[in-house]
Structure 1
Amino acid sequence: MIRFGIVGTNWITERFIAAGKQHEDFNITAVYSRSKEKGQAFMEKHQLQLAFSDISEMAEHKEIDAVYIASPNALHAEQALLFMENGKHVLCEKPFASNSMEVSHMIKKAEQEGVVLMEAMKSTFMPNFLAVKEHLHKIGPVRSYFSSSCRYSTFYDDLKNGSLPNLFNPALSGGALMDLGVYTIAPLVALFGRPTSIQATGTLLESGVDGQGHMLLDYGEVKASVMFSCITNSYLPTEIIGEKGTIVIHHISSPKKAEIHYPDGTSEDISRLQKYDPMYYEIAEFIQLIQNNKQQSSINTWENSIITIEILDQARRQMGVEISK
């Protein structure tokens, strides 16, 4: 059994626990919250053993093997480094950190301490994305990739009414690209690696972060286009377009279906049965890494995380977003 601690008490941690309980070697033991009251309530709700309002105390505790970090983006690196310094394995929500320098520090610390470090980008572990990778050769030379991740956030209403939600707070590394756009970039990197160049344009909000944007990424023979937004909705699927066919992926952040459309009008459903919660698959990978004494995933590799955050850095600079240091 791997004894997990959780950093954060938001909706994503609720989903993490529900998914983790589907794995026989998952044991959730502790939670951290800045609010002692919230932490206590979360502990009682999920029948945990421990609740902490002092994160250093949690990092030092001997009854925790690993942590899942689901705090605001700007806190990821600081908290991950603290836990790794205390010998804890770290599964950290996307985006991995605020910038590429922080991600590099995190990876270096993992190497030094001999612990597992993995970015919790769930989509790249899910059955339908793995099916896409397996069947990619069927569409011949790939020429184009298009992906969209646009979902109107109710927090945008709060911003317009004068408050500053975490999602739109530059001090917390917020913005549409970091929140939703990363879902279009990580699969692209998993499939094709590092682009030779990128061009980005976006809409800056009054808080200083991007509300929406578009990117063009050049891979030589493959041209990629992505769009992302927290202030509008889009219902378009992701397409990988080749000379011999087109793969259509529905809901790129959590692939629910995948099919190939061929030039002759026929189609092939390449979807796979998904037995478990979408977050289960990243948890299973993380637990397996710990049990097999491997420090990084062969799917969500450190190199892929570095490339992804470097793309996010460059795109934000081009859009005029100030990157926190």
Structure 2
Amino acid sequence: MKLAIIGSGKIVQDFLTITKDLPQIELEAIVGTTRSKETLEELKKIYGIKNYFTDYEQCLREDTIDAVYIAVPNHLHFSFTKKALLAGKHVICEKPFTTDYQQFLELKQLAESKQKILLEAITNQYLENYSEIKKQLSSLGAIKLIECNYSQYSSRYDAFKNGEIAPVFDAQKGGGALMDLNIYNIHFVVGLLGRPLGVHYFPHMENQVDTSGILVLQYKEYQAVCIAAKNSDAPVRSVVQGETRSIVVDSPTNVLTSFGIYQKNQLLETISVNSHPHRMYQEFVTFDQIIQHKDFVAMQKRLTHSESVMWIIDQAKTAAQF
């Protein structure tokens, strides 16, 4: 895969650290703003990226690039992805796919009409530990409850309280606890249980954005609760409760470093089968395979999952009226 990276922020710099372990991915270009030119030059040099651009559309005109990885602020995902698809590029877009369900549907239709691969970068769906959790579900007995808590006091929260609004706390830019942290919990649950029958969201609102919230997903025979907070801390963990056993994950739902199998509150086994220590490695291995083989069947499966997640986001915002 001949890849252009769109963005130069924290997630991009984290991804670049593993590119040495992904020789099948050729780093053709990196794109940023004019004020990030110095950072682009530095990243180009350190990681052997062939070129850099401060003009996104100029980058898209390069014939050597067949795919782009979009890692810009949430509210730009839709427009950047649409431009790339119209330019004939395959697209890997960071979570959340878009800030609006209808935007997602438009991108899905466009990718299908252009016969281009479109995928959401969401680490937990590709981790081997997550696949193992799915395999272990049948050993738990009838599933009763799932609870996910991803609460992390934001380094930008104090500034937010003083009136400095960063994108992660700007509702107009896809910020807030639901879109930033709870999105991982939603993906975790949907990958196990599918689309729920009902969605309810109870946010704590500050300056018109949810700084924390409790999301309840209703299924026919069980319930799932997804908790996320950027205004407070708590132990980060997820629990899948079955009638006879339970699974406990003592790490964020985007990392899944390991998980335990419990029976009557006694640990029976700890499982960790991830093949690489970095959470983003396996997803990019899979992305490369799907793009290289133009595997539209795999793409449709992934898009169906992402569509359910975007539908939940839309339902949650409607339920909470924000």
Q: Classify the TM-score, shorter chain.
A: over 0.9
User: Residues 232-261 of structure 1: CA distance to partner in whole angstroms, max 9, x if unpaired?
Assistant: 112142011111200112222210111211
How far has the Cα of 1:115 moved from its partner? 1.3
Q: Is the 8 A contact 2:149 2:228 kept in 1?
A: yes
Q: Quick one: distance in 1 between partners of 2:34 and 2:135?
A: 46
Q: Is the 8 A contact 1:285 1:297 kept in 2?
A: no
Runs of 4 or more off by more than 6 Å in structure 1? none
Q: Is the 8 A contact 1:152 1:231 kept in 2?
A: yes
1:288 aligns with 2:289: yes
Q: Quick one: distance in 2 between partners of 1:45 and 1:67?
A: 20
Q: Quick one: distance in 1 between partners of 2:95 and 2:135?
A: 24
How far has the Cα of 1:299 moved from its partner? 9.5
Amino acid at match of 2:105: S
How far has the Cα of 1:319 moved from its partner? 2.7
How far has the Cα of 1:52 moved from its partner? 1.2
How far has the Cα of 1:186 moved from its partner? 0.4
Question: What is the TM-score when the length of structure 1 is the normalising length?
Answer: 0.93
How far has the Cα of 1:167 moved from its partner? 0.4
Amino acid at match of 2:232: T
Amino acid at match of 2:260: E
User: Residues 53-82 of structure 1: CA distance to partner in whole angstroms, max 9, x if unpaired?
Assistant: 111111111121111111111110111111
Amino acid at match of 2:212: Q
Question: What is the TM-score when the length of structure 2 is the normalising length?
Answer: 0.94
Q: Quick one: distance in 2 between partners of 1:228 and 1:17?
A: 28
- Name 2:239's counterpart in structure 1: 239
Paired residues in the alignment total 319
- Name 2:129's counterpart in structure 1: 128
Q: Quick one: distance in 1 between partners of 2:293 and 2:128?
A: 22
- Name 2:164's counterpart in structure 1: 163
Q: Is the 8 A contact 2:119 2:299 kept in 1?
A: no
Amino acid at match of 1:250: D
Amino acid at match of 1:156: Y
How far has the Cα of 1:86 moved from its partner? 1.4
User: Residues 281-314 of structure 1: CA distance to partner in whole angstroms, max 9, x if unpaired?
Assistant: 1101100001222136469611111110111122
Q: Is the 8 A contact 2:254 2:279 kept in 1?
A: no
1:18 aligns with 2:26: no
5+ residue gaps, structure 2, are: none
- Name 1:44's counterpart in structure 2: 45
- Name 1:34's counterpart in structure 2: 33
How far has the Cα of 1:270 moved from its partner? 2.9
* Partner-residue secondary structure (3-state), 1:108: helix
Q: Quick one: distance in 1 between partners of 2:297 and 2:118?
A: 6
- Name 1:267's counterpart in structure 2: 268
Q: Quick one: distance in 1 between partners of 2:104 and 2:49?
A: 30
* Partner-residue secondary structure (3-state), 2:17: helix
- Name 1:3's counterpart in structure 2: 2
Amino acid at match of 1:154: S
- Name 1:230's counterpart in structure 2: 230
Q: Is the 8 A contact 1:143 1:222 kept in 2?
A: yes
User: Residues 75-120 of structure 1: CA distance to partner in whole angstroms, max 9, x if unpaired?
Assistant: 1011111111112111110001111111111111111111111110
Q: Is the 8 A contact 1:124 1:300 kept in 2?
A: no
- Name 1:309's counterpart in structure 2: 310
Higher relative contact order (CA 8 A, sep 6+): 1
**RMSD of aligned residue pairs (Cα, Å):** 1.7
* Partner-residue secondary structure (3-state), 1:25: coil
State, as a whole percentage, how many aligned pairs show the same letter: 27
Amino acid at match of 1:303: T
